[in-house]
Chain A
Amino acid sequence: MKPMIKKSLVSVLALGLLVLVSGCDNDNDNGAGRYEISVTNLSNNQPMSPPAWAFHDEDYMGWEIGSAATAGLEILAESGDASSFVSEARNHAAVYTQRAADEMVLPGQTQTYTVAFRHDGGLQFTLATMLVNTNDAFVGVSGVKISDLATGEERTYMARAYDAGTEENLETAATIPGPAGGGEGFNAAREASDKVSMHSGVVTNSDGLSSSALDQSHRFDNPVARVVIRHL
């Protein structure tokens, strides 16, 4: 019984929030937050496309295992271009703020971003970035709850690699947009399965896939990135 009650209460609250958000763009929202996001690329040779993120409540999901990727996520995961993913977030009523970084995060690098915005509680965080030397792998943190993060506190998330399920993992030069291939990024055609899953890793030409433009240096394992959220 209890979870049901809780859920309905939350839904009522969420509905209230939606009304508030759509009703006023003024400064009379009840929360203001400043957060610092740090992203560290833990892979050996997989540059990460400029990360895109959203701060939102529980009604937004950037992706879901077993469901088809949105068009925005497909473009992000196949080409590294986050603009459509960010637009989708901007148009979602449950998203408080969204943005994509300007620069890639190279292996070993840490990039730090500061974000200030107003919100109405129930705060969650989602981030996505492409592993550019793959067909459609992206690294993500999805809907982690940060509403309990007190000022001055930070929390670390070890991010794993997902397969957008939109492009077959051929690993050929023509289909890898990163420096290892220099090939095509986004292509609207989708692979048969068309479901987001966890990524199975790359095979590479060093391990028997002779048609692969990738070599041993491009192999990766989870976690692929570290994401730290600090409430300033």
Chain B
Amino acid sequence: MKTSRIAASALAMSALLPLTASAQDLSVTVTNLTHGIYFTPVLVAAHEDGTHLFQQGQAASASLQAMAEGGSLAGLVTDVINANGTYSENPAMGMLAPTASTTTTLNTDGTSNTYLSVVAMMLPTNDGFIGLDSIAIPTEAGTYTFLLNAYDAGTEANDELLNPGAGGAPGVAGIPGAPGGDTGTGGTGAAGADSNTMVHIHRGALGDTNATGGTSDLDSRIHRWLNPVAKVVLTVSNP
């Protein structure tokens, strides 16, 4: 036990040296903190400095737009692969329900993937997503907690109208689905195009209490949220 402790400390120290490639085992747990919002398949990616899945105040990439509007990870995964990233796709094997958690591991051994990003779409929203944008992975072994905000991709009007399936395609209006089965119909549209078309902090859902009309298909008692909406617990161990 003593020997491995010393070995671990030595490794941790060497990881602090800037020129050595890091050798790290990462465990990442994502928790949905909301009362009534589901997350689509989660993408957890370790990558180099300068790589981003999204950035606040910047326009969404086509890949991010596809994720934020329809939950598709295909484009972002291709981007991560092209950037030589280390990633885990869909660890929850589907939707992450309100208050549920999912855990995945990444081994960045032999890479220079020392930054971490996490994204998933929020349902039911038009283009809302949870995001952790490129945080430097601590080199010291330990457990680190990050609280995530809800972002608006800025790519689709928050009309809050259900458009099952079809609404998930980039550029197609509407919310692709409501896993909780608790939305309404017949809304007239809660909002037009975003004023801010860059990625920005989501202003939240409006909703209403009219299940067959009103402006929104969302329920104001169920589909609102306050930040933070997700928790990421990162455990770093230096093998």
Contact = CB atoms under 8 A, between A and B. Distances in A.
Interface stretch (A93-101, A119-127, A203-211): A203-211
Interface stretch (B70-78, B93-101, B105-113, B121-129): B93-101
A165 B35 contact: yes
Interface string A153-177: 0000000110101000100000000
Contacts of A2: 4-5, 8, 141, 237-238
B186 to A, nearest CB: 16
Interface string A55-66: 000000000011
Q: Which secondary structure dominates where chain B touches chain A?
A: loop
A82 interface: no
Interface residues of B, number: 35
A112 interface: no
Interface in A1-19: 1-3, 5
A157 B100 CA distance: 25
Q: Which secondary structure dominates where chain A touches chain B?
A: loop
A167 B30 CA distance: 26
A198 interface: yes
Interface stretch (B42-50, B58-66, B192-200, B224-232): B224-232
Interface of B: 1, 4-5, 8, 31, 33-36, 98-101, 141-143, 204, 207-209, 214, 220-222, 224-229, 231, 235, 237-239
29 contacts: A1-B4, A1-B8, A1-B237, A1-B239, A2-B8, A2-B237, A3-B141, A3-B142, A3-B237, A5-B1, A5-B5, A65-B31, A65-B99, A65-B231, A163-B35, A197-B34, A197-B99, A198-B33, A198-B225, A198-B226, A198-B228, A198-B229, A200-B34, A200-B222, A200-B226, A203-B207, A203-B220, A208-B209, A222-B228
Closest 4 CB pairs between A and B? A66-B99, A2-B8, A198-B33, A197-B35
